[in-house]
Amino acid sequence: MTLLEVQNLHTHFITRDIGNQVQVAKALNSVSFKVDAGEILGLVGETGAGKSLTALSIMGLLRPPAEIVDGSIRFEGEDIVAMQRDELNRIRGAAIAMVGQNPRGALDPLTRIGEQIARVARAHDPQLSNDKATSMAVESMERVGIADPLRRAQAWPHELSGGMAQRVLIAMALINGPRLLIADEPTTGLDVTVQAQILDLLRALVQELNMGAMIITHDLGVVAQYCNRTAVMYAGRIVEEGGTRSVFGDPRHPYTKALIGSTPEKLDFTLDAEVGGGPPNLYALPPGCHYIDRCPKAAAQCNSMPPNLALSATHHALCHFAAGDQARAS
């Protein structure tokens, strides 16, 4: 069942610069993807590719100067983009939950963590008594593997380690039984051992609760190990998407190839090993393929918009040459 369907999403930063000219940074340009119940989608790409912005667009957390200028985001068939704040508040924190990067910064420093979690429960059920909300919070903490949750509920955020804070945030995200979980770089800044614990926990919870999940990361290892499907983002577009095995085993977009080639354990692969240069200027994107300036295979036709070539029923790549090198030779 499709939980989330993002179609043709365009999110731009529209500012008036000091010369009084309107400047548009095209951060997301026609992003489309789906998340089904019970699966984990990995969204990868370098910094500035628009991964987090995609998550924030879905959660309705954009603030000026960022705004959605085109496209739709459907959650269980309902278009989120058109929703008012109140309607959105029924969904976020309940049916859709998000876990952010920087877990320690994501907790209100002046509220004990048990109360913070309970607060989210009460926000979605005004009839809920304080006691009931608190016991729900403790239960949720227990489920994410926090030992002695009753005592921990009394802790202040600054008393927690990064890993513990992330567990608290996951407990907070799960308290209303969400059907979709978005994890934005859930393990950056955590110790390597803790990273694995958190990701294992997330995977177990997704399976147990039959949620859909989206993990945003720049760590290909995480995607390879934990995600069923992979979407690769570059300069505000998804350039390749497919089953994780398929994308990693047979990458078709030159950028995906370069990304995989640049991870140390894959250095022996006979792929283009360089991810040279930087991302394009979002204020002046190339008209065709966004990767044109860095692509070793760039040709004249790359100045026109590349097609989203279907390589199989589930594997797509946004490249003129995705079908194979033969196409280029002809």
Interface positions with other proteins (CB under 8 A): 13-21, 23, 25, 27, 47-48, 52-53, 59-61, 63-66, 85, 88-94, 97-98, 100, 102, 105-111, 119-120, 123-124, 156, 158, 169, 172-173, 278-283
Q: How far apart are CA 104 and CA 160, in angstroms?
A: 8
Q: Which is nearer to other proteins, 77 or 126 (CB)?
A: 126
What is the closest distance, in whole angstroms, from the C-beta atom of residue 255 to other proteins in the complex? 16
Cα 155 to the chain's mean position, in Å? Answer: 29
What is the closest distance, in whole angstroms, from the C-beta atom of residue 205 to other proteins in the complex? 17
Counting Cα atoms < 13 Å in the Cβ hemisphere of 194 gives: 14
Peptide bond between residue 64 and the one before it cis (omega within 30 degrees of 0) = no
Q: What is the DSSP letter of 109?
A: T
Q: What are phi and psi of 147, to 5 degrees?
A: -75, 145
Cα 131 to the chain's mean position, in Å? Answer: 34
What is the closest distance, in whole angstroms, from the C-beta atom of residue 43 to other proteins in the complex? 16
* Token representation of residue 112: 């004990």
Longest CA–CA span in the chain (Å) reads 71
Q: Which is nearer to other proteins, 154 or 207 (CB)?
A: 154
What is the closest distance, in whole angstroms, from the C-beta atom of residue 81 to other proteins in the complex? 16
Q: Which is nearer to other proteins, 64 or 264 (CB)?
A: 64
Q: Which is nearer to other proteins, 173 or 213 (CB)?
A: 173
Q: How far apart are CA 165 and CA 171, in angstroms?
A: 10
What is the closest distance, in whole angstroms, from the C-beta atom of residue 123 to other proteins in the complex? 5
SS3 273: coil
Q: Which is nearer to other proteins, 281 or 301 (CB)?
A: 281
What is the closest distance, in whole angstroms, from the C-beta atom of residue 7 to other proteins in the complex? 22
CA torsion 212→237→249→209, rounded to 10°? 0
Q: Which is nearer to other proteins, 23 or 197 (CB)?
A: 23
